[in-house]
Structure 1
């Protein structure tokens, strides 16, 4: 009998007791949401209540404003704001703080001269074909970079303002 008890204790066995129905364990959800620091890359940007172009404008942001993007939905990014979270089109945000506007020129009036293309460009696509790409590392070709710069308005692809996007591939 002693041998059986000793073996039971060594193997970690213990008598089972029926304590009634078991309570399910609850795992707490993560309380933090990862945010990404971004900057407004356009002269002005409407931050909307919903991720829709016709939605009510909650706040207007200016070029270079530092914002925290919390989540995305389609081509929209949800910004973490003090008064009320709001949505902006992702193409107007940049990971890098933008250069200041040229002195004495309004952003609406300034337009760099159009470059002479050095490559055969793909046929122009409609603005509806603009995806969520917004940096050179996401481009598959020079033609795609020109499309996003000229058709979609992703000005950050032309970092030096010479009209040639993503100079590492064009």
Structure 2
């Protein structure tokens, strides 16, 4: 599972708020100790020290939570103001995805060409030649590329000059 930085920050902020709730529970223990033990006792002094330390940490954590919420609000507002990116720049990885798909397609086209030539020269067994390297298969390949482009990039543009058959062989 992959989460965005925003989702991680929101979860962390919620966790920090839960920490402040835990501080409240510990503070209740120190308050009970302060009420139970005499003022000149060691447990009373430890409870005072614990209460002061908790108040300091509670303030730090609470300030951090408020700061994170403000940052998240600012980031959300900024994201809403920003113009949407073009379909081919939806995220930093889209160029990498496009390059990987292009490389795979170049490889597939190369093999389709080889198989087509072997089929035309009757160098393939009949059970292979029946469905490989044909113009219909080439058309199906182009259609599947359009579907993939539409799903990933919001456009069925295949990019670059595509070789469509002009003359049936």
Smaller-chain TM-score bracket: under 0.3
- The structure carrying a bigger strand percent of its residues is 1
- The structure carrying a bigger helix percent of its residues is 2
TM-score, with length taken from structure 1: 0.16
